[in-house]
Amino acid sequence: MRVAREILTGLLLMVMLAGCGGGGGSGGGSSSGGVTSCDVTLADLVLSAGSLDQAFQSTQCVYTATVGFLMTATTVAPTTSDAASTVTVNGVDVASGNASAAIPLAVGKNTLTVIVTADDGVTTGTYTVTVTRESAGEFAQQAYIKASNTGSGDQFGNSIALSGDTLAVGAYREDSKATGIDGDENDNSLADAGAVYVFIRDGTVWSQQAYIKASNTGSGDRFGYSLALSGDTLAVGAYREQSKATGIDGDESDNSLTDAGAVYVFTRSGTKWTQQAYLKASNPDSDDSFGYSVALYGDTLAAGADREASNATGIGGDQNNNALANAGAAYVFTRSGAAWSQQAYIKASNTGSNDVFGWSLALFEETLAVGAAGEASSASGINGNQNDDSAPYTGAVYVFTRSGIAWSQQAYIKASNSGSNDFFGWSLALTGDVLAVGASREDGSNNSLADSGAVYLFIRNGTLWSQQDYVIPAVIDSGYLFGYSVALSGDTLAAGAPGEKSNATGIDGDASDNSLNGAGAAYVFQ
């Protein structure tokens, strides 16, 4: 998300742990030798939304912590002093030393209650956590950023990824022949090789930290077409890379498979970036476009190959045929230490030619959403009939979840008003139990505005998904392509419309004229 520093005004967590020992007894003891304990103290208390300003002490009951506004939820991990005591957070049992479920934080004050019950089953201690989340403030432009080697046609900004104070920007048509980190960027001898630029923020000041190229830079590879950033890890897709290598760190030096595609993983130590892995599909082939999309969450990486052609369905199917052109696939990789391995090969439950499954991806914790913008069934809603192909390029989204190391499909999602050529699943965003899906060529609620576009919001309750909203701007017209891009954070949705036509500038200008075709706009909904 491109947000100004002013938005990150902070989230004040005022932790008041009062009345730590009460309810009939307190302090000391253990439950060994048949003696029942009355110990209701905590040995530690950890919040995922920031850390306590003071070192935790079991006898100290008031703490504060500060985190950014975009932290919309927190978990609480209480550790009891006595292993035999039990603890609840907001009335829900939590095992000592484990984190609670995520607790949403509204703007303003939120009260969390941690209750420790001693081994005697009677004595209790109560820790009250008051969490104050500050309001967002106003949006303002903080920086205008360009490449260090700006060149005509480089397409700097075609892809972008943000994590904390680090920004990665792709320029997939940059032309230098440099390899690795901070090489010579001043030639233009390899057309459309591609590059990625990393910028960091100190206070309100941005500076370029790294100029990143592939380890096997090649003409037309389009390195940087897709990006994902999580902490100190950066994933870069080059969907037209041409080697026939398979798996992890294979031979990248040949160019025998046109547009097979690759993904490169970089990590940062201090201020230095290095390439950690070179990832290929387990079944690379010409024109598969592996790396057309990427998603990253912690030690899990997903890569889409929207033109992969096997007729497999589901998880771990037979990938060794090319029976269905442009069917598409998604690949999941996991990292242990610094070593990456492929965990899953994922296909749609109704694999079909030209479905381009893997066109878009979104990954959050143990949930992966995969867009197939060309899927052709006429179904609507959740888990409908997916076995016809009567509505070309309607589009679909598939939700998968992981238990341990096993992935399974949880939902098959269609728009509530499915229509041919809507390209539902063109873009995706996922946070918690909320999924945003862009359908950039949807034609309006009565099909009167060709390619105006729409965004659909879905929510999950347990394992069940339902459509929550159908979103369009207050002013919309044919050709806006609203939903071409989407982003989610907490209760905020952002959507791009590159075909929007007004001549407004800045924030909240006049959206009602259509004098500048293709000017483009971004919209924020809350």
pLDDT, one tens digit per residue, over 125-168 is 888 888 887 665 555 667 878 899 998 899 898 888 888 889 89
Tell me if 240 is assigned to some domain. yes
Q: 479-496: b or e for each residue (b if 16 or more CB lie within 10 Å)? A: bbbbbbbbbbbbebbbbb
Cα gap 425→166, rounded to integer Å: 28
CATH assignment of the domain containing 256: 2.130.10.130
Residue labelled with tokens 């873009």: 427
Q: What is the pLDDT of residue 30?
A: 43
Please list the helix, strand and coil fractions of the chain in percent, rounded to the nearest 5, in that order.
Answer: 0, 45, 55
Q: Let me know whether 159 and 202 are in one domain.
A: yes
Domain count, the chain: 2
Q: Let me know whether 298 and 329 are in one domain.
A: yes
| Last-in-domain residue among 329, 347, 365 | 347
Q: Let me know whether 182 and 91 are in one domain.
A: no
Q: Let me know whether 108 and 175 are in one domain.
A: no
Q: Is the pLDDT of residue 428 over 70?
A: yes
Tell me if 125 is assigned to some domain. yes
Cα gap 64→51, rounded to integer Å: 8
Tell me if 428 is assigned to some domain. no
Domain of residue 27, residue span: 11-133
Mean pLDDT of 305-311: 97
Tell me if 299 is assigned to some domain. yes
Q: Could you give the strand order of the β-sheet that contains 357-364, starting from the edge strand earlier in sequence?
A: 357-364, 367-372, 396-403, 406-413
Tell me if 355 is assigned to some domain. no
Tell me if 390 is assigned to some domain. no
Q: Let me know whether 184 and 277 are in one domain.
A: yes
Cα gap 145→162, rounded to integer Å: 14
Tell me if 500 is assigned to some domain. no
Tell me if 61 is assigned to some domain. yes
CB of 132 within 8 A of CB of 74?
A: no
pTM of the model: 0.76
For residue range 177-222, list pLDDT tens digits in order: 999 999 999 999 999 999 999 999 888 889 999 999 999 999 999 9
For residue range 229-246, list pLDDT tens digits in order: 999 999 999 999 999 999
Mean pLDDT of 79-90: 93
Residue 152 CB partners (closer than 8 Å, separation 6+): none
Q: Let me know whether 185 and 118 are in one domain.
A: no
* CA-to-CA dists, residue 119 to 34, 35, 76, 94, 445, angstroms: 11, 9, 21, 15, 60
* Burial degree of 426 (CB within 10 A; 0-12, 13-18, 19+): buried
Torsion angle of C-alpha atoms 311, 315, 316, 319, degrees rounded to 10: 20
Cα gap 509→505, rounded to integer Å: 6
Q: What is the pLDDT of residue 276?
A: 97
Q: What is the largest CA-CA distance in the chain?
A: 84
For residue range 331-353, list pLDDT tens digits in order: 999 999 999 999 999 999 999 99
First to last CA, the chain: 15
Residue 67's DSSP bridge partners are 11
* CA-to-CA dists, residue 123 to 126, 132, 199, angstroms: 10, 30, 54
| Last-in-domain residue among 331, 347, 363 | 347
Cα gap 137→22, rounded to integer Å: 41
Q: Which helix (H) or strand (E) holds 125?
A: strand 124-133
Q: Please give the distance of CA 109 from its chain centroid, rounded to a whole number.
A: 28
Q: What is the pLDDT of residue 524?
A: 81
Q: What is the CA radius of gyration of the chain?
A: 25
Nearest to 239 by CA among 222, 216, 253, 214: 222
Tell me the pLDDT of the chain averaged across its residues: 87
> Percent of the chain at pLDDT above 90?
60
- Helix and strand numbers, DSSP H then E, in the chain: 0, 33
Q: Is the pLDDT of residue 6 over 60?
A: no
Q: Would you state the structure tokens that stand for residue 435, as one six-digit string? A: 């999924």
Q: Let me know whether 159 and 37 are in one domain.
A: no
Mean pLDDT of 456-470: 93
Q: Let me know whether 118 and 232 are in one domain.
A: no
Q: Let me know whether 183 and 34 are in one domain.
A: no
| Last-in-domain residue among 85, 104, 133 | 133
Q: At 333, is the secondary structure helix, strand, or coil?
A: strand
Q: At 405, is the secondary structure helix, strand, or coil?
A: coil
Q: Let me know whether 126 and 158 are in one domain.
A: no
Q: Let me know whether 207 and 336 are in one domain.
A: yes
Q: At 33, is the secondary structure helix, strand, or coil?
A: helix
Q: Let me know whether 92 and 182 are in one domain.
A: no
Q: Is the pLDDT of residue 66 over 80?
A: no
